[in-house]
Structure 1
Amino acid sequence: MDPKLTIAMSESDRTLKLLSGARRLPGFELDAQQATVEQIFINQVSEAMYDISELSLASYLIAKAGGDKRLTAIPVFLSRSFRHNAIYVRADSPWRHPSELKGRRFGFPEFQMTAAVWIRGMFREEWGIREGEPEWFTFRPERVPVNIPARLTEGDIFEALVEGRVDAIMSARRPPEKIFPATGEGGAIRRLIPNVWDEERAYYDRTGIFPIMHLVSLKSETAERYPELPKHLYELMLGIKNEGVAGLLETIKNNTSDPWIWESVERASRLMNDDIWPYGAQANWEQIVKFMGYLREDGLLKRDLAPEEVFHSSVLNT
């Protein structure tokens, strides 16, 4: 009988075939666990609960730099996202650019969450806002204990914005439709940056960065027991991701509910040199180094990590 491994990941075209059993990891039986992605992160970073799991890049790096050796990782990046579009203000706000938020009250769900680290890095590097110029607020406890220059606030982050307790927020999750309609217009709140999709493409064109949010972690003792597992899992998940991207371009039927998905994927392919969702250690290491710099500037990372500390030895050449 094949050994059984627990696995916890959000569902996407990069994971569903693995979680459903449509694609098998040879030599193993996978027991898919159900939880929100936020709960998966808490379970894994606090208890190393799963043999394999999706995990916040920031929390993983913070824990590793702090001496936690319970986890290792492979360079499979299940979530990547430009977060310019995730900054919101009230609909009647006068502000249209992040540089106008100096001295304002800015809310994050959590200070260490990867999206928040990227946004603060862009505040400093892209938009000229120095540390301490916005007043930071958070709305849930930190999943890895860290000292942060933010005030933990009770209540819902979207309600806090609507009620004026904060002036702007960053949320990886889309706001409720009752305050932010599907059109992105006409609600109680709006995105800060007009023409934000063009702004994100310009950012990529200028920097070459498609921000990494989540990677795939493995329990270190599981990787030690099955040393072939990390590389085999990487190769399987790379294949599933490539199949998913190819499926987006299949025109005999639309694999999504977006009428213009093919235009979007073709446009992204032109801009990103055909690899719109890159995996692998070597192609992504420069970005991870930059992200570690942002973590250090935030006071969240004690030291830089070497590639062999971040990723399992078997996938360093990917």
Structure 2
Amino acid sequence: MSLHLTIGVSDCDRARALAEGRVPIAGVAAETTVMPLQPLFNLQMTQHRFDCCEFPIATWLRHFDRPQQDYVGIPVFPSRHFRFSCVFVNKAKGFTKPSDLAGRRIGTMVWDMAAAVWLRGIFDEHYGLHWRSPIYVNAGLNEARAGEDHPQQYPEGVAIEHVTDRSLSEMLETGEIDALYTARAPDSFFSAPDKVGRLFADPMAAELDYFARTRIFPPMHLIAVKRRFVDENPWLPRALFDAFVESQRLARLRLHDSATLAVGLPFLAQQLEETERRLGPAFWSAGFTANREVFATLIRYLRAEGLLARNLAPEDLFLASLLET
């Protein structure tokens, strides 16, 4: 008899073949739900609705400080993003580089959001902006928000303000905050382009330079399954890994199929070929081996901020059956 497993994922091409049932999971009868990303995370972080779910990677790593780790990670990454293009500024301030933001007011929706964790760490290590230097402003992106989406842990000695009566998008447009670390563009970037713009004039060039120096394409999410299912079914993590890898493989093939473009980009094939030329054909790598240094870097950033107390090695993060991937 197959193991019944509820799975929650966002609507991305990497997981689509699995979500549609075109890729089976060996030994599993999967009931897969596709949801918008933020509602998916809010539901899983608060109610733990799904047995297996796409998970924000920094939040998952924080679980290792708990006496009981409730989730087992699978080293496949539905979302990866450099995020240099996701730093927005009030254009009147004249900022052109990360170090300009020292002592300034930077908006962020969720402190342990992977996009913000990576940006703080990268800008500290490579761009001369110490992560403690800015004043951070916590609020909703495009609408006011009364509280946290899920419980947060803030580092001591860092200036953090919580605003509940207006949005970060509004505050960036009016200049109440100077910059914004985000996963998606604020509304004011589109409605007030004369006032809100990107920090980097050419974010792609900056991202390619960063990759050339580090070989890191930062993961934002991974897949995690509740530990009790793994305790009862030790074969499950590898079965999940194999299925998600196959789903990702089919997504890549679909992008290369120029008979009908997979997404509405007229130069998709050329852009994909150029991406693979610059980053390598395995730029969206899965498995532990290809991503060991990525995890070492993320652990270092989280520990520097006090978001992770345990001194973990990358090998501590995954079961032995997945360290071989």
Pairwise TM-score range, normalised by the shorter structure: over 0.9
Secondary structure of the residue aligned to 2:137 is strand
Over 3 Å counting, the alpha-carbon distance change for 1:48 and 1:2 in structure 2 is same
Over 3 Å counting, the alpha-carbon distance change for 1:315 and 1:147 in structure 2 is same
Equivalent of 1:152 in 162, 170, 173: 162
Aligned to 1:109: 109
Letter in 2 for 1:135: I
Letter in 1 for 2:277: R
Alpha carbons 1:75, 1:281 under 8 Å: kept: yes
When the two structures are superposed, what TM-score results if normalisation uses the length of structure 1?
0.92
Aligned to 1:205: 212
Aligned to 2:124: 124
Secondary structure of the residue aligned to 1:14 is helix
Secondary structure of the residue aligned to 2:150 is coil
Aligned to 2:294: 287
Aligned to 1:215: 222
Equivalent of 1:173 in 184, 190, 212: 184
Q: Does residue 9 of structure 1 match 2:9?
A: yes
Aligned to 2:57: 57
Alpha carbons 2:19, 2:34 under 8 Å: kept: no
Which residues of structure 1 form unaligned runs of 5+?
A: none
Secondary structure of the residue aligned to 2:92 is coil
Distance 2:223 2:46 in 1: 16
Secondary structure of the residue aligned to 1:69 is coil
Which digits, 9 at most, give the CA deviation of each residue in 1:234-286, with x for residues without a partner?
11111111121122111222111011111221111112221120000111011
Distance 2:298 2:114 in 1: 9
When the two structures are superposed, what TM-score results if normalisation uses the length of structure 2?
0.90
Superposition RMSD on alpha carbons, in Å? 2.0
Letter in 1 for 2:102: K
How far is the alpha carbon of 1:204 from its aligned partner?
A: 0.6
How far is the alpha carbon of 1:46 from its aligned partner?
A: 4.2
Distance 1:252 1:190 in 2: 36
Give me the identity figure in percent. 30
How far is the alpha carbon of 1:58 from its aligned partner?
A: 0.5
Secondary structure of the residue aligned to 1:159 is helix
Distance 1:94 1:307 in 2: 40
How far is the alpha carbon of 1:174 from its aligned partner?
A: 2.3
Aligned to 2:148: 141
Over 3 Å counting, the alpha-carbon distance change for 1:304 and 1:263 in structure 2 is farther
Secondary structure of the residue aligned to 1:254 is coil
Distance 1:141 1:71 in 2: 22
Which residues of structure 2 form unaligned runs of 5+?
A: 140-146
Aligned to 2:174: 163
Distance 2:229 2:287 in 1: 21
Aligned to 1:72: 72
